[in-house]
Structure formats: C-alpha cells, structure tokens
Amino acid sequence: MKPRHVLGISGGKDSAALAIYLRTKYPELDLEYYTCDTGKELDETYQLIDNLEVFLGKKILKLRAVENSPEDPFDHYLKIYGGYLPSSGSRWCTKKLKLDPFEQFVGTTPVVSYVGIRGDEDREGYISKKTNIQSIFPFRKNIWSEDVVTKALSNSNLPNILDLYTSIELEDRSSRFESLLRQPVDMSFLLSKKLDMLLDVHTKDLNRLVFSWLKQTSYPLADEEFFPLIENDEILVRADIFRLLEESGVGVPAYYKQIEFEVKQLKGTYSRSRSGCYFCFFQQKIEWVWLFEQHPDRFWKAVEYEKDGYTWNQEERLIDLIEPSRMQRIKEDYLKKSTSNSPNSPFLLDTIGEEEGAGCAACFV
Ligand code: SF4
C-alpha cells in the first residue's frame, strides 16, 4: 500500500519553513498538513498557520484532542488531571494534546512523516514507536531516522548492503565509499562515524543505498517506487529558515520580533523564542517578562492556573516573578548573558540560553 505523506505544523518557524521548502522544491509530494491545536497558542501562531495555508494553497487540518467538549483541549485534560499542571518532568500535555491526536489521525496506514529538525541541531525529535510511521528529516544531511540507519549499516546487514551496493545504480562508485561501506563498525569505528563519513563522501549515493534497502523491509517507504528526497543533499540551518519564511511572504512568526527594553539605562531587546502554549513551562524567565509586558491578558490567564500549590516554574510563582525588582534582575541577567554570547542571528533570544534539544519536539519544531 502506498504510504501517506504528512507534515505536522507546530506553529514554530522550522516546521513552517519545511512546508514551504517541500512545496517549492518537491511539488510532486502529495503532502497532508496538520496541526495539533491545544487551544492555548498565541494569536501569532494562528496567524502563521493562516498565512501558510494561503502559501500552500491547501488546508492545514486542525487536530484537537477532544471534540464536543465545552472547554478547549488543554482545559479539558487539566480537569481530568485534577489541576495538576504539566512540567518538564510530567509532560502529559505533549502526549494527550499532540502525540495521541497525531497517532489517531494516522491510524494504521503506512505514513511518511516529515520533521523540520534543522541541519544545525543535534536532536532526533519525536519518533513514533508505531511501525507504520516513518520519519524523514529533509533539512539534515542525514534524512533518515536513527532506527533506519542503525539497521541498514549494522554489521549483521553488511553482506546484504554490499550486495545491494553492487547491484543498484549509483552516481559515483568511489573506492573511498566502498571501503567505508565494507568496514565493520566497532568501538573504534562507531556506526555514527561510519554514517557521517559515508554522507561526506557521497550523500546521494548513500541515500540511494538506504532507499534500496528499505524496499526489503516493512517501512512505509518500501512501497514507494521513487522517493525524490534521496536526491537531496542540501543542509538547512537557522539562517535559511528565516530566509525561507521571509522570501515566501509567509513571514517570521510575529513573536520573534525583537522589542526594545531598557533597564538601568542599558538597552536590550527581547522576544519569545518558541511556538507552543503561551504558558509553556519550557520558556525562559525573560520570556515570562515578555509575556507580562507584551501580552498581559495571556500572562494573567497563566497566573490563574497557578493554584493549590501548582506553579508553572518550579522555584517561583508568576506573581513573584513580576515584582518590579525581580523583573529588573531578570532583564539584567538576560542582558549580561546576551553580551557574553556573540550570536550571528539577528534573533538574539533565539540563540541564547536555549536548549532546543530540550522541550517538546512536537511543539517547538
Ligand atoms: S507547548 Fe509546552 S505546554 Fe504546550 S503542549 Fe507543548 S510542552 Fe505542553
């Protein structure tokens, strides 16, 4: 059965840029777009999704974890969890509001899912355990998921992959590529190293080889005769993402816009660095200050959730965070951190103190 091809729009810059990139470069891919709506996104996120729909000329399906509830999905589940706010250690929100609706949407049909993790990131993102879902990472040099390359390049598959190597059409049969392929992995030659070196020698040929191997498996791509992304050896990094968004007319999500602030006669800029719920517990202190100053209505709604000892931050309540002296210190610390970094990106906050690997790949890609 031919697989479906799906792309999840998180409301963040990278997944939006991926939709633009694939639509422009691979219009032949019949992609289904979806987004998981928690009901708690910023208006800017909904605006981005609207802009993207116009660019794509196609609807982005809005998946909601619950239908027919008087509350939005987040509030519905919060009630079920007895007011227990999600946290980095207990991310019921990701599972209930993002992953479950996605898996339900996909069902049991084979699916190729495109993920916008960039070439300058070192993370794998959410990989569904469901065997009918195969993830592809078009922005990275290695477009394949970890499980695929681990099986394809394992020592036990070596005779098989060498057979395939001799029987399929490749662009450049260099002795370097072949000797790397023949070399078994061990403690001094890890599989990740073998993969990197093969990709460096010839990305497209490695892709052709992996794709041929997939045809012997039950992965969703086994049933595709041709997969255009095997011919892709581009690597896209942060600056490319902003360029794609600007040039397409979709625009960078407005919450990235740098806004000036002043503290103790020093000037700085702040913004929000990620998509996701306005009260997301992954945000930095300066982002809470940004929310308070730029979206006070949302900030006060976030405050309303803090009751019965539950707080969004482990160490302080939001009401304490906006004490004038505390906000001043947060801004000062943030400025200090900014000047001790020298990021190339004009989106300063986007590169400071933020571990993109942390958090929720379903929300922040
Ligand atoms: S954005 Fe944050 S709060 Fe919202 S679902 Fe994702 S992890 Fe949970």
125 and 36 co-located in one domain = yes
62 and 30 co-located in one domain = yes
Spatial CA neighbour of 58 closest among 97, 1, 13, 5? 5
Type of residue numbered 20: I
Which residue's CA lies nearest to atom 6 of ligand 1? 363
The set of residues, in sequence order, having a beta carbon less than 8 Å from that of 277 and lying 6+ positions away, is: 38, 40, 41, 74, 93, 363
Q: What is the 132 CA–ligand 1 centroid distance (Å)?
A: 25
**Structure tokens, 231:** 């011919």
Q: Which ligand 1 atom sits closest to the C-alpha of 276?
A: 1
**Structure tokens, 176:** 């370097």
Which residue's CA lies nearest to atom 1 of ligand 1? 276
What's the CA gap between 345 and 258, in Å, rounded?
Answer: 12
Q: What is the 263 CA–ligand 1 centroid distance (Å)?
A: 30
Q: Do residues 258 and 269 make contact, with C-beta atoms less than 8 angstroms apart?
A: yes
189 and 137 co-located in one domain = no
What's the CA gap between 338 and 258, in Å, rounded?
Answer: 13
Domain boundary among the residues 181, 214, 248 is at 248
The domain in which residue 260 lies consists of 255-364
186 and 71 co-located in one domain = no
| H or E element at residue 261 | strand 259-263
What's the CA gap between 341 and 324, in Å, rounded?
Answer: 26
Per-residue pLDDT tens, the chain, 365 aa: give them: 899 999 999 889 999 999 999 999 999 999 999 999 999 999 999 999 999 999 999 999 999 999 889 999 999 999 999 999 999 888 999 999 999 999 999 999 999 999 999 999 887 766 677 889 999 999 999 999 999 999 999 999 999 999 999 999 999 999 999 999 999 999 999 999 999 999 999 999 999 999 999 999 999 999 999 999 999 999 999 999 999 999 999 999 889 889 999 999 899 999 998 889 999 999 999 999 999 999 999 999 999 999 988 999 988 999 999 999 999 999 999 999 887 754 444 443 344 334 444 445 667 67
Model pLDDT, residue 350? 44
109 and 239 co-located in one domain = yes
124 and 243 co-located in one domain = yes
Sheet containing strand 31-36, strands side by side: 60-63, 31-36, 4-8, 111-114, 133-136
Tell me which residues have their CB closer than 6 angstroms to ligand 1. 38, 86, 91, 93-94, 97-98, 276-277, 280, 282, 360, 363
Q: Supply the DSSP symbol for 345.
A: S
Q: What is the 125 CA–ligand 1 centroid distance (Å)?
A: 15
Beta-carbon count within 10 A of 127 CB = 15
Q: Do residues 302 and 317 make contact, with C-beta atoms less than 8 angstroms apart?
A: no
What's the CA gap between 358 and 215, in Å, rounded?
Answer: 34
Q: Where are the alpha helices (DSSP H) in 306-357?
A: 318-321, 324-340
- The CATH number for 126's domain is 3.40.50.620
Model pLDDT, residue 169? 94
Can you tell me whether residue 101 is helix, strand or coil? helix
96 and 161 co-located in one domain = no
Q: What is the 363 CA–ligand 1 centroid distance (Å)?
A: 6
291 and 167 co-located in one domain = no
The domain tally of the chain equals 3
Pairing relation of β-strands 266-270 and 259-263?
Answer: antiparallel
Q: Do residues 331 and 289 make contact, with C-beta atoms less than 8 angstroms apart?
A: yes
Ligand 1 pocket test, candidate residues 93, 275, 312, 313, most atoms within 8 A of CB = 93
Q: What is the 139 CA–ligand 1 centroid distance (Å)?
A: 24
Q: What is the 77 CA–ligand 1 centroid distance (Å)?
A: 13
Q: Do residues 161 and 153 make contact, with C-beta atoms less than 8 angstroms apart?
A: yes
69 and 87 co-located in one domain = yes
Ligand 1 pocket test, candidate residues 66, 77, 280, 283, most atoms within 8 A of CB = 280
- β-partners of residue 131 are none
Task: Please give the C-alpha separations between residue 321 and each of 255, 273, 285, 286, 288, in angstroms, as whole numbers.
Answer: 21, 19, 8, 10, 8
108 and 16 co-located in one domain = yes
260 and 359 co-located in one domain = yes
DSSP for 123-137 reads ------S-TTEEEE-
Type of residue numbered 206: L
Model pLDDT, residue 125? 67
What's the CA gap between 88 and 191, in Å, rounded?
Answer: 31
What's the CA gap between 178 and 172, in Å, rounded?
Answer: 10
Q: What is the 276 CA–ligand 1 centroid distance (Å)?
A: 6
- β-partners of residue 4 are 111
| Per-residue burial over 319-339, b = 16 or more CB atoms within 10 Å of its CB, e = otherwise | eebbeeeebeebbeebbeebe
133 and 159 co-located in one domain = no
